[in-house]
Structure 1
């Protein structure tokens, strides 16, 4: 592997390949590489290779290490040295650096999980390549980071490199003398694309496309799934949320044995299930009915000490048995329950009042009313809200995807239970997160609304409802 050079009138540019900071080379008692919790044994067949490897471990770039050791001038060492570099590159231990001043490089191309990271050859014409619309810049460890969502490497940017990227994003050719080399780094990171995106990809918003790819392509993120990275930032929250409210309504416990004998079959319920948006205003849903539905789908059957966090047993499944999704009840017209916003305490099977009637609650319910194309508010709005820290202290990159899946599981359980009970329910496509935050007095980082459903009494059988689905 050689370092590519580019001579200009003002300065000489050299893209250097160096050992990544997180990679630790240990030479005694035998050569090994420690990287991201894994250890790799290294084959060193000559003293020259060992010397070059030592230079690399001390911060030299590949070309400098080879020059000082003379490893590439020895016929018996050149090929094994090249193969050793390929192994280091393949496991993600190498990065490319575009030198700047003494204190900071212009840019660094860093693998997230694995390699090899390959730059286009210097002879490749990149002038017709276009900026990737999905590439984003964020702050990480006090540095700017550029990443395309489908790439397994990212680029650390100096202010000068960030300005050059901004010029490229505006379809201008940067005038910096090091731009041709920087463009190679951008191309390797997927920030410059040879071909424009296909039409199907353009349907996604940038945020949704990135969230999807990072939850499905493990190599595009530095940590994936159950890493417990979040537990190093904040303590793992307990299974039970404590809202600190005092107004409580104890709920009657339904007879599950009786329900097991009298419920319609799963096939019957599944085939009859449909979204029912309108409610019978003359015969509102009762507190007993609401209690039964909540008990069927969201009660807590037990709490166990799990791996790093308390595990919760509910009638519905959840990843890691963490059950981060809480159920809130916005009561408008429920016989036996005052209007207001209530939290369902599945541990004690009771409702705890979070807020009374007010403008914020009206906004929350009003949004659901409009979203379901109704003129009257639902008798009850079920609001599902996640406690993100319950999930994100364990799961990395896939956290929001799991929250959405868990919400879908709960919604389906509500659909089946409501159908079996003869109630009307309908999932809502979106909700007003700011209204929920204002009504609860909790930030979205503590309670993140992730789904809504209307719930109420069903219209008489001889009254048809338009728009059911």
Structure 2
């Protein structure tokens, strides 16, 4: 079996005989020669190697036409209109019935925006980058490097190449290495100079972190980016607020904002006083009025509107991309005067608490986790669990949806910090949490609504006043 590089037009590109149709958009080609047209027809019909394409060109244009063909082909590659693959060929069957079997074992695919010009194969041993991601796309094992606009699709029979290249190897055919090198999937350097472990720029990144960062901050590496409404033709948008749970509720008093505005410290004073406080006054816990005021000033729904795409939007005191406001807050109460212990949901539209779960082992685990993360000597009076209704964002935004959620968590943290500081309450944001534990306690499907942030809240100790 001799692996050979072959090419074809990108799968969403067709050739009409005069121009290219790229996903419904016409790309004009200047004065095509008969040989160029014949070669383009071959590329549109399937995979062909350079020799097969050269035969088609020279048959009509002569050998002098090859230079012009190569210039055209280079332009197509520079525009990302060509896919490259590695084909294995062999013969099988009885004498007199011999037929040639040709199979594609690897294919270079454009998954974002950019060129498909092939890079050379490394001269020495090669290894997959430790940042390479493997996943199944359209039923095929597919490799992609963070931030790259190209991926390599492997036929199932060639998936063993991943294992072969887990360590430095010289046993992989050069055409396959060319595809991997073009997609940025090979480790730089070599066995004696493993850049990914010796240089800080590479060594400091965890593969998951770099993949997340590169995908969401490199638009060219994704097929869609921003407000593309990737689910708009399959699902309706989620309502701006979840339906009432129908459980026991606690009405929260509406604070007098004019009185508060007159008595609040200045914005500069609040900023300067803001800090994380990891202790609560257990003799005088936070009250219903204080919890209600904090939630009202930070989170309440001030109004709704309908976007041009039909999605119901909201107005709250903190900003949200596209006004989608997917965040919900679940106060987990252990000690709050006027609010029974348990896991509650703050209804932003009704300014009330609705019971999600009575105290049990699951809520106790969340309390214990928050206590440990905040390094408190006693259980926190309230844990504010911040959850995201992911569909609110993912219905509209592609690639940047989850980063938007995290940005929203950040601005909500700051809003809660500043309001709590102005109210002389103790607040401390936590750096991590357990979505699975929240799902157990709340009964929420973590793929539909899961925690993305946590803060502990309580009365400020007297010595912190």
Deviation at 1:366, TM superposition (A): 0.7
Deviation at 1:24, TM superposition (A): 3.0
Q: Structure 1 residues 130, 168: closer, same or farther in 2, change over 3 A? A: closer
- Report the equivalent of 1:322: 324
Q: Assess if the C-alpha contact under 8 Å between 1:92 and 1:112 holds in 2.
A: no
- Report the equivalent of 1:239: 240
- Report the equivalent of 1:109: 108
Q: Assess if the C-alpha contact under 8 Å between 2:34 and 2:60 holds in 1.
A: no
For the residues of structure 1 that align with 2:391 and 2:258, how far apart are their CA atoms? Answer: 36
Q: Assess if the C-alpha contact under 8 Å between 2:57 and 2:69 holds in 1.
A: no
1:51 aligns with 2:51: no
Deviation string 1:313-360 (CA, Å, 9 cap, x unpaired) is 111111111111111100110111011111111011111111110011
Q: Assess if the C-alpha contact under 8 Å between 1:387 and 1:446 holds in 2.
A: yes
**SS class of match (1:114):** coil
Q: Assess if the C-alpha contact under 8 Å between 1:128 and 1:194 holds in 2.
A: no
For the residues of structure 2 that align with 1:71 and 1:285, how far apart are their CA atoms? Answer: 87
For the residues of structure 2 that align with 1:257 and 1:136, how far apart are their CA atoms? Answer: 54
Between the two proteins, the alignment pairs up a number of residues equal to 445
- Report the equivalent of 1:278: 279
Deviation string 1:285-319 (CA, Å, 9 cap, x unpaired) is 11111111111111111121114322211111111
Deviation at 1:103, TM superposition (A): 7.8
Q: Structure 1 residues 60, 439: closer, same or farther in 2, change over 3 A? A: closer
For the residues of structure 1 that align with 2:142 and 2:436, how far apart are their CA atoms? Answer: 30
Q: Structure 1 residues 163, 350: closer, same or farther in 2, change over 3 A? A: same
Q: Assess if the C-alpha contact under 8 Å between 1:43 and 1:84 holds in 2.
A: no
- Report the equivalent of 2:179: 185
- Report the equivalent of 1:374: 376
1:133 aligns with 2:154: no
The farther-off stretch of 129-138 and 380-389 is 129-138
Q: How does 1:397-436 map to 2 (within 5 A)?
A: 397-436=399-438
Q: How does 1:58-457 map to 2 (within 5 A)?
A: 58-61=45-48, 63=50, 64-70=52-58, 73-74=61-62, 77-100=65-88, 104-121=103-120, 124-125=122-123, 127-174=124-171, 179-195=173-189, 196-197=195-196, 198-242=199-243, 244-308=245-309, 309-457=311-459
For the residues of structure 1 that align with 2:229 and 2:456, how far apart are their CA atoms? Answer: 35
Q: Assess if the C-alpha contact under 8 Å between 2:87 and 2:102 holds in 1.
A: no
For the residues of structure 2 that align with 1:71 and 1:300, how far apart are their CA atoms? Answer: 72
Deviation at 1:22, TM superposition (A): 1.7
For the residues of structure 1 that align with 2:165 and 2:2, how far apart are their CA atoms? Answer: 22
- Report the equivalent of 1:18: 8
Deviation at 1:206, TM superposition (A): 1.3
The TM-score normalised by the length of structure 1 is 0.89
Deviation at 1:373, TM superposition (A): 0.9
Q: Assess if the C-alpha contact under 8 Å between 1:71 and 1:78 holds in 2.
A: no
**SS class of match (1:99):** strand
**SS class of match (2:104):** coil
**SS class of match (1:105):** strand
Q: Structure 1 residues 77, 262: closer, same or farther in 2, change over 3 A? A: farther
Consecutive unaligned residues in structure 1, runs of 5 or more: 1-10
Q: Assess if the C-alpha contact under 8 Å between 1:345 and 1:352 holds in 2.
A: yes
Q: Structure 1 residues 464, 247: closer, same or farther in 2, change over 3 A? A: closer
RMSD: 2.2
Deviation at 1:379, TM superposition (A): 0.7
Deviation string 1:9-45 (CA, Å, 9 cap, x unpaired) is xx33210121111223334xx513323x654333234
The TM-score normalised by the length of structure 2 is 0.90
